[in-house]
Amino acid sequence: MAVLCKPAVAVPEHVITLEETLGLARSLHRDHPRLDLALRLIENTGVQKRHLVQPIEQVLQHQGLTRRSVIYEAESKARVPAVVRQALDHAGLEPEQIDLIVYVSCTGFMMPSLTAWLINTMGFRPQTRQIPIAQLGCAGGGAAINRAHDFCTAYPDSNALIVACEFCSLCYQPTDLGIGTLLSNGLFGDGIAAAVVRGQGGTGISLERNGSYLVPDTEDWISYAVRPTGFHFQLDKRVPGTMEPLSPALRALAEQHQWNIGKLDFYIIHAGGPRILDDLTHHLDIAPHAFRHSRATLTQYGNIASAVILDALSRLFDERSSLPGHQGILAGFGPGITAEITLGTWTTGQ
C-alpha cells in the first residue's frame, strides 16, 4: 500500500505582516472607492504574516515577465534541492530510489520543467518519470498526491517524489484593482514543500482511495488572464461559497469507502481562506478544531497555493497525535472549480 511520508517545507526569509499589508493597501490605493471593503476582507482572512521570495520593495516593482521568469528559475533552483533532500530523508530514501517526480507550480513557467534539472543535478536516475502540473492551481498539491498514489498502485515497488514550488508574489500586478485582486494581494504567500510516496513501507498516511470532482460551469471563477505583463489572477466573488457544492463530493467519496466524513480522525484541507473551513464545518458537521492544521498554515504563511496541503500535513506529523488505524481525508481545491480528494489511514509501516 502506498504511504505518504512526512513532508518537508521551507518558506523564504522575507516577511510581510498583516499590519504592513494593510498599511501598503492604504498607501497604494488611498483613492480606491472600495478600499474599506478590501481592508476588511484582508483582515478577515486570518493571515498574520506571509513570506516572500523578494523584499516587498522589489515585489512592488513590476520589472516585466522576462525578469520575473528569471527570478522564478533562479530561486527555484536555489531553494528546492534542500527541501527535496529533507523529504527524502523523512522517507528514508535516496534519489536513485525515486521512480517518479511530480512537480507542481502555478506561479512560474519553465520548459523543460524543473524536474529535468533536478534529475540532472541531484542524483536521480535518467529513467525517472516526470509529471509537471501547472494549471490546477491550488488543487495541484492534492492532484500530485493522487497521481503519485496512482503510480505506486500500478507499480507497487516504486516510489514517487512530490515537489510544490509556489512564488505567488511573482504574480503581483500593480494595475489590477478589482476587489478580488486586492484581497489576493493580502492573502497569498510563497513557499516550497516536498514529500515522498513510498510504494512499500514508510510511516505516514497509507493512501487507500482518491477522487476528483469539478463543479460544473465554474471554470471562470478562478483563472489567469495571460498578458504581456504575466499572469493576472482573476477571482470571482462566488468562490468563497464553493464548499456548498463540493461538500457532497467529499461526503460521497468517503461513503464509497464506507467512512463517515464527519467522524474521521484527521482532516488536511487546502485553506484558500477561512470561509472554506467554516463552511466545511457547517456542511459536513465537523468540529472546527479538526481544521487546526490548515488554519495554522493560513495564519502563519497565508495561502501558499499547491504547497498548503503539504504544509498542513507536516503539522499533523509534528503534532504526533495520530495513531495506527486513524482515518483521514486530504483535499485540495482550485480552478475548475476542481477538488482533488484523498482518503487514507495512518500507519507506522515497517
DSSP of 285-299: T--GGGGHHHHHHHH
Cis peptide before 101 (omega within 30 of 0): no
Strand partners, 188: 303
In contact, 347 and 152? CB cutoff 8 Å: no
Q: What is the pTM of this model?
A: 0.95
**CA dihedral of residues 89, 7, 203, 264 (deg, nearest 10):** 180
Number of H helices, E strands in the chain: 11, 14
Which DSSP symbol is given to 239?
A: G
Distance CA(321)–CA(172), nearest Å, equals 38
Q: Is 27 exposed, middle or buried (0-12, 13-18, 19+ CB in 10 A)?
A: exposed
Cα–Cα distance list, 199 to 31, 121, 310 (Å): 56, 24, 19
Q: Is 256 exposed, middle or buried (0-12, 13-18, 19+ CB in 10 A)?
A: exposed
In contact, 213 and 332? CB cutoff 8 Å: no
Q: Among this protein's residues, is 165 annotated catalytic?
A: no
> Which one of the listed residues 106, 138, 168, 171 is annotated catalytic?
138
Residue ranges and CATH numbers for the domains of the chain are 3-198 (3.40.47.10), 204-347 (3.40.47.10)
**CA dihedral of residues 139, 314, 51, 36 (deg, nearest 10):** 60
Reduced to 3 states (helix: H, G, I; strand: E, B; else coil), residue 62 is: coil
Which DSSP symbol is given to 12?
A: -
Q: Is 308 exposed, middle or buried (0-12, 13-18, 19+ CB in 10 A)?
A: buried
* Tens of pLDDT, residues 44-83: 999 999 999 999 999 998 888 899 999 999 999 999 999 9
Please name the residues in contact with 90: beta carbons below 8 A apart, sequence gap of 6 or more. 5, 6, 7, 8, 195, 196
Which of 135, 111, 96, 104 lies closest to 308, judged by CA?
Answer: 104
Side chain identity at 110, as an amino acid letter? M
pLDDT per residue rounded down to tens, the chain (350 residues): 899 999 999 999 999 999 999 999 999 899 899 999 999 999 999 999 999 999 999 999 888 889 999 999 999 999 999 999 999 999 999 999 999 999 999 999 999 999 999 999 999 999 999 999 999 999 999 999 999 999 999 999 999 999 999 999 999 998 888 888 888 888 999 999 999 999 999 999 999 999 999 999 999 888 888 888 888 888 788 887 888 899 999 999 999 999 999 999 999 999 788 888 999 999 999 999 999 999 999 999 999 999 999 999 999 999 988 889 999 999 999 998 999 999 999 999 75
Which of 301, 222, 241, 273 lies closest to 42, judged by CA?
Answer: 273
Distance CA(44)–CA(66), nearest Å, equals 34
Nine-digit cell at 80? Answer: 528546492
